[in-house]
């Protein structure tokens, strides 16, 4: 059995934890939300890189066997440095699913909804440059959305209005596929479908990320494939009880099947 650390700027990485609990329920998890500092997507590259490193060092010090950087923004700005610093721990990142989107799009027009920091990062633009030029990507940042999701307002009228504004260029371009390039955005699926209907293809990479995690654990001989349910610690830089409450609201997994602990940590590292 392994202890797996999962971190995000806030509740977004719960979309990845949900998938991890579905595929790998037997392991123990620490979910670390830096909600005090969310959103990351509008902060400087230097700040994101140094804070992400600090949080991963904290997870490593807790004894994690693997760490999932469950944040596209932190992956784009920091994962290379984290891998160098924590050489002995597998570090799995999250990137916008533009490759599967290009393969699945029928009309070759794909919207990419992600944070400003992800869209302008070298890592994302290098990935984009590897894709065939016959697919057109409409890159759109979603300022304001993460804060609304953090406040538990993913389906509020205000969120729908803001989302409609952000989706307009994607809709105008006639995209048939949208990449949810921020781990908070899978929690907007319902709102997006309300605005754009059921035929739009929505892509997130939670499943692929967890399959990658599973391969890394297998390589370490730490995957059990058992139906037991491990323990989950919810740690927040802001409000751990609120984090656990939001996890219960946002996630599909039956958290009562796991032993749960929640704690507030004011300083990491
Ligand atoms: N959930 C994160 C991501 O995947 C970060 C969002 C934010 O804090 O701006 O990009």
For residue 32, give the H/E element and its range. strand 28-33
Of 29, 5, 17, 7, give the one whose Cα is nearest residue 230.
29
Domain of residue 69, CATH code? 3.40.50.1860
Query: Residue 231 has what pLDDT?
Result: 95
Domain membership flag for residue 269: no
Q: What is the pLDDT along the chain (269 residues), one digit of tens a residue?
A: 899 999 999 999 999 999 999 999 999 999 999 999 999 998 999 999 999 999 999 999 999 999 999 999 999 999 999 999 999 999 999 999 999 999 999 999 999 999 999 999 999 999 999 998 899 999 999 999 999 999 999 999 999 999 999 999 999 999 999 999 999 999 999 999 999 999 999 999 999 999 999 999 999 988 767 778 999 999 999 999 999 999 999 999 999 999 998 777 765 54
Q: Half-sphere exposure of 104 toward its Cβ, with a 13 Å CA cutoff?
A: 18
Q: Give, for ligand 1, the residue of 17, 73, 124 to mutate: max count of ligand atoms closer than 8 Å to Cβ.
A: 73
Round to whole Å and give the CA distance between 32 and 11.
Answer: 9
209 CA → ligand 1 middle, Å: 16
Are 57 and 145 members of one domain? no
pLDDT digits (tens, 9 = 90+) for 101-128: 999 999 999 999 999 999 999 999 999 9
For residue 164, give the H/E element and its range. helix 157-172
Among 155, 178, 203, the domain boundary falls at 203
What is the chain's Cα-based Rg?
Answer: 18
Are 170 and 103 members of one domain? yes
Residues whose CB is less than 8 angstroms from the CB of residue 192 and which lie 6 or more positions away in sequence, other chains included: 163, 167, 178, 200, 202
What tokens does 83 get?
């891998």
Are 76 and 11 members of one domain? yes
> Could you report how far apart the first and last alpha carbons of the chain are, in Å?
25
145 CA → ligand 1 middle, Å: 10
Share of the chain above pLDDT 70, in %: 98
* Ligand 1: lining residues by beta carbon, under 6 Å: 8-10, 12, 38-41, 71-73, 115, 118, 146, 182-184
Query: Residue 207 has what pLDDT?
Result: 97
Give the domain range for residue 90.
Answer: 3-94+206-264
Query: Residue 6 has what pLDDT?
Result: 98
118 CA → ligand 1 middle, Å: 9
Catalytic residues, by residue number, are 71, 182
What tokens does 57 get?
């060092």
Are 112 and 134 members of one domain? yes
Rama region for 182: left / alpha / beta (φ>0; ψ in -120 to 50; rest): beta
Query: Residue 257 has what pLDDT?
Result: 92
Round to whole Å and give the CA distance between 218 and 80.
Answer: 22
What tokens does 114 get?
């992600």
Residues paired with 29 in a beta bridge: 4, 232
Among 154, 188, 203, the domain boundary falls at 203
Among 183, 203, 223, the domain boundary falls at 203
Query: Residue 269 has what pLDDT?
Result: 47
């Amino acid at each position: 059995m392994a202890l797996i650390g999962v971190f995000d700027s806030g509740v977004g990485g719960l979309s990845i934890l949900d998938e991890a609990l579905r595929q790998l329920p037997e392991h123990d998890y620490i979910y670390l939300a830096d909600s005090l500092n969310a959103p990351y997507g509008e902060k400087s590259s230097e700040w994101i890189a140094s804070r992400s490193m600090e949080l991963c060092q904290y997870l490593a010090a807790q004894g994690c066997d693997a760490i999932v950087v469950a944040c596209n923004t932190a992956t784009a700005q920091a994962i290379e440095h984290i891998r160098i610093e924590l050489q002995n721990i597998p570090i799995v990142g999250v990137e916008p699913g533009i490759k599967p989107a290009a393969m699945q799009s029928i009309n070759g027009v794909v919207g990419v909804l992600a944070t400003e920091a992800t869209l302008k990062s070298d890592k994302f633009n290098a990935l984009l440059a590897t894709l065939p030029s016959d697919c057109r990507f409409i890159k759109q940042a979603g300022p304001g959305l993460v804060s609304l999701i953090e406040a538990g307002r993913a389906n509020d009228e205000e969120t729908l209005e803001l989302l409609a504004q952000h989706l307009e260029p994607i809709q105008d371009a006639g995209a048939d596929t949208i990449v949810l390039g921020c781990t908070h955005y899978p929690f907007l699926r319902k709102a997006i479908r309300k605005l754009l209907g059921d035929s739009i293809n929505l892509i997130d990479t939670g499943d692929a990320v967890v399959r990658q995690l599973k391969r890394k654990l297998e390589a370490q001989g730490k995957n059990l494939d058992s139906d037991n349910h491990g323990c989950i610690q919810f740690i927040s830089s802001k409000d751990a009880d609120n984090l656990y409450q939001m996890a219960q609201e946002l996630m599909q997994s039956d958290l009562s099947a796991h032993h749960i602990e929640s704690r507030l940590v004011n300083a990491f590292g």
